[in-house]
Every structure is written in C-alpha cells, then in structure tokens.
A and B are shown apart, each in its own frame.
Chain A
C-alpha cells in the first residue's frame, strides 16, 4: 500500500521528472547516519585516547572531513534538479542521466570510504581519497552539467532568469574546481593553495550560490514575497558571493608561503563576504515572515507555480532552513569574519577555534540547509507518518542543541588554547591536556547531534523503507518502539 499524498493531487510530469532528487535525498540520510557515527567515535577517541578503537584515528578523521563536504554536496545536487525543473516549469532533459550521475557518485563515495577505512588515506586534508575516485566525482559533475545544459536548452528564453543562470554557472565551476584539487602537487604551497579551491571556493562560492537558490526556491513555495523581488535580490547576492568569495580565498593563503598581497586581499574581501550573508538573512526572514501572514490571511500568491502540498513538510523544512541561516550568521558571518582579520588569524589559526568555526559554518549552515531540503523533497513524494513527524520535530531540537554545544565547547577550547599556547607559549601537549574537559563537552554535543541525526534519518526515511508494509502511515503505528509489535494492523489480519 503506497502512502497517499494528503492533498490527493496527481503528480504532474514535472513532479515525476523532479523525482530524480529522491535517491539523492535518501543517500544524504544514509551518509548523515554514517557521518554522525564516525564523528562520534572520533570525538570520543580524542577524549579517551587509550580506548581501543578498531579504526585508526587518521582514517576516522579523514572520513569525517570527507563526508562533511560530500553529503551536503549530494543533497544540493538533488535539490538543484528538483528546483530547476520547477523553476523552469519543464521536465528535466534526462532522468536516466541524473540516475547515472547518482550511481557514479555513489560508487565513488563507497570506494572512497572503503579505501579510507582500510587505511589508504591521502594525507591531504578535506577530500582525502585516491585520485581516480575523485575523478569519478568530477565525471558526476560533468554529467550534471550536461543534464542542466540540456534542460536549459528546452527553455532557452529562461536562461537568463536567476535560478537557471546561477545553476548553470555554479555546476561546471564546481566541477572544474574539484578537477584542479584532484591531484597532488610537488610544491607544498601549491598543494595548500588548490586544497582551498574546494573547501573554501565550494563552500563560500559555487555551492554557496546553489544553497541560496535552494533557500529562495523553497521559501518562495510558501506564500510571501513575490518571486520576482527575491529572485532579483538572489542574483545580486550570488554575484557578490562569487566575487567576494573568490578573492576572500586569500584568508586561507595568509601563511602558506604565497605572496603577502593575499593578506590584504583576503582581509578586505572577507569583510565584503558579510554583505551577501546579510542579504540572504534578510531574504530568508522576510520570506518566512510573509509565509506566516499568507497562511493566516489565506491570501497572497504562490510564486513557485507548483501545487501546494502538505504544510507540514514545508513548515518543518523552513525551520531547518532558518536554523541554517542562524548558524550562517553566527558561525560563518560573525566568527568567520573575526577570524579572518590577519592579526587575529595569526593567533587563532590552526587551533580549535578553526574547528568550532568549521562545525558551525559547514555543519550548521550546509548541514541544516540540506536536511531541510531533503525533508521537503521526500515529504513531497511520500509524507512520513505521525511517528516519523514526531521524530523529525524532536530531531530539529536535538540537532540544533547538539550543534550549539559542539560549537560552543570547541570555541571555548580554542580560546583557552590560543591563550595558553600562543600567548603564554606553554608546552603543546600540556595545553592539549587542559582542553580535554571541553573536548568531552564537545563529544556530548556530538552525541546529542548524532542522536538527532539518526532520528531525522529514521523519521524521514520511514515511508521509503516501510511504505509497502501493511498498516504503514496509519496512526495506529504511532508508538513505534513499544506497542507496534503488539498491535496487528487490520490488513495483516485480513491476509
């Protein structure tokens, strides 16, 4: 028995075509679950170094950093397909190609995690993997680009509209950046340089504008500000993100042996980077506020052009996205900005402050954003049942609380580390030992976050895993853990 959509509407061709996003969304749930387990093991290992953990620390850390980049990427790919089809009001050029792209990337990721866990770390941070597997992901981006160009070609008049334009810019650029960072270079300064073409230029450049597109596209689905107004802002925001983001890469180039002009350029454009963050915040909250009003008064227009669907998915997705926006202001906007001031950076660079910032900016912004998108897309095709909804509601609080605790304890540990190591110049290992209580607190935050992550995955994946089970999506299954095994659904009895 398939779950019925609450509004009972039949899926349009566009919806059927945009369904290619579903495997991406489900893969995000799987990778998220893997991530929280791997990360928690690593965090505990840091606090209790004597613990016997079968996976070497270096493999675990490499896996954690790698996942942190790749699962948001996967979610954004799916969301881009979904929102592009709806924005253009057309079917995608090739659903099969989107599926091939998906499996190419999944094969690459499986190969990467298998090789990392077997101990084949690359020894270059962030996207550690043997280079052939990275090339497979570049191939995925190539297929993605082909599919997007093909889809745009179906509606040539729309190519200069904000959403298609930003997507068409972002996707090939992301692929090219990954290609540049695939190989290791002999000169360590060059090696460091291209590493940041991914971890900076993806997250604060090409993927950032895809994220903005997804935020605006999702929020525009609700009643609120007319699409035109926000989409106009969106282009300005995206242009600023790319321009300032590219030059602000300089804030990663301060100490890696590149010319000193990067200190000036990096610092100046890091300040400019705050402007698009502010714009995105403005756009998001303005739209979210408009949504509430539209719902109350029952008027306003839906700019997405697609039929309205169950409010639950949209409203919870909005909460996740607003969480993402808040972490973006705090983690990326405020903390990130302070960190890039060169005299400050000289002290905090390479301490737990950086780690705290990375958790808030990457996990907080991209993580929560992609969870919101995943929730929205999955709910659109197969809404979860009451128990799943409760799980998701609870997970929102757990994830936010866990992220807050992780970020705060890492930043506190970092502040102490800076003072004791960099100001007082105390011995490194002694300083590390004084940080352990805060790393333990981080681990607690990680556990809370991980619990939230698993609950989220469990809640949203339920209709996809058990959709054919008799009695699914019936309120009778509500108490999932205790009573469900005792209650026989009527269908089962009939059989």
Chain B
C-alpha cells in the first residue's frame, strides 16, 4: 500500500528535490480549481432556478394562497402527497379535483370521517372557510403544468 502510493506521488512529482515547491504549486492549483468548479456549479444551478421561477405559470389566487396556508396548518402533507412529495400513507392529491366533485371534497374536509385502515381515527376536520380555500388550492395544484398524475399506469382522468 505504502509503496503503491509513493509510486503515485512520484509519477506526479518526477524530482524529489523540487517536491516542496511543486507540492505547494499543485496544492494551489487544486484549491483554485475546486473553488472555480464548485462556484460554477452553484452559479449555474442558481441561474437555472431563476429561469425556472421566471417561467412559472399563473400565481395562485389569494384564496388559493389562503388554502395553501390552511393545508399547511392542517398538516395534510404528513400523510398525503402533492406532486408525489409528502407522506406515503394516503392518496396523492395532485389531481384530486379531476376525480372528485367540489362538494365531495369540501364535505370530506369539514366532516372528517373515520378513515381506513383505522376504525376509530377520524380524518382531520377543518372549518368550512378553510375547506373552501383548500379546495381552491387543490384546484390550482391540478392546473400546474407537469407530467405528474400520480398514476402513470392509468389513463388520465379515469376515476378510481
């Protein structure tokens, strides 16, 4: 092991006598390269993020924003997913407004029925105003242009 690693450094550093100075020069070169590459990576990334944000479609309406806040307060994401991100033990809601009527959704949200697989735990229930705004938020989510429908194996728009 020691021998092979010596060979390694020898091949880069042909003369032992200049080892010290060459070492410092190489160190500086490596260091500056690191700074350049890492900064470039982050800069390109930030720039692409900026482009992405600029190309976003319509902003959510004020009611949908209220809905987003209500969605966060109720902790929906701990069980449900949106765009496939969130908890894995309840259905994805990205396109739930395509599958269910407005009334079905608001009724569900305000009554908070007992949910499978439990026989006694109820779904979180929210105030009617919150239910309306969450519905608006979910409608907005369904319009966000992306390829995510949560069910690639199924033709789009089919009921479940």
Contacts and interface: CB of A to CB of B under 8 A. Distances in A.
B132 interface: no
Given A46-B89, A123-B71, A428-B160, A290 B1 contact: yes
Contacts of B2: 224-226, 290, 293-294, 299-300
A260 B119 CA distance: 43
Interface residues of B, number: 77
Nearest to B40: A243
Interface string B94-114: 000000000000000000000
A279 to B, nearest CB: 14
Contacts of B56: 187, 189-190, 257-258
Interface string A181-224: 00010111111110100000000000000000000000000001
Given A243-B37, A257-B56, A125 B1 contact: no
B116 interface: yes
Given A57-B78, A187-B59, A238 B34 contact: yes
Contacts of A265: 48
A293 B160 contact: no
Contacts of B49: 193
Nearest to A243: B41
Given A186-B60, A242-B41, A290-B2, A255 B31 contact: no
Contact of A125 (B86, B118, B140): B86
Contacts of B144: 188-189, 256-257
A298 interface: no
Contacts of A166: 34
Contacts of B157: none
A124 B27 contact: no
Nearest to B90: A428
Interface string A122-160: 111100000000000000000000000000000000011
B142 to A, nearest CB: 11
Contacts of B146: 255-257
Interface stretch (A12-20, A418-426, A455-463): A418-426
Given A225-B5, A256-B146, A249 B41 contact: no
A184 B72 contact: yes
Interface residues of A, number: 85
B9 A429 contact: no
B78 A61 contact: yes
A84 interface: no
A365 interface: no
Q: Which of B44, B88, B116, B158 has the most CB of A within 10 A?
A: B88
Contacts of A257: 56-57, 83, 144-146
A350 B30 contact: no
A124 B81 CA distance: 11
A427 B160 contact: yes
Interface string B79-92: 10111111111111
Main secondary structure of the interface of A (DSSP, over half): helix
A19 to B, nearest CB: 29
B114 to A, nearest CB: 11
Interface in A242-289: 242-247, 249, 253-262, 265, 286, 289
Interface of B: 1-2, 5-6, 8-9, 23, 26-28, 30-35, 37-38, 40-42, 44-45, 48-49, 51-53, 55-57, 59-60, 65, 68, 71-79, 81-92, 116-121, 137, 140-141, 144-148, 150-154, 158, 160
14 contacts: A49-B118, A50-B121, A58-B79, A61-B87, A121-B78, A122-B72, A188-B137, A225-B1, A249-B45, A286-B1, A293-B2, A355-B88, A425-B158, A429-B117
Interface of A: 46, 49-50, 57-58, 61-62, 121-125, 159-162, 165-166, 169, 173, 184, 186-193, 195, 224-226, 228-229, 232, 235-236, 238-240, 242-247, 249, 253-262, 265, 286, 289-290, 293-294, 299-300, 346-347, 349-352, 354-355, 421-425, 427-429, 432-433, 436
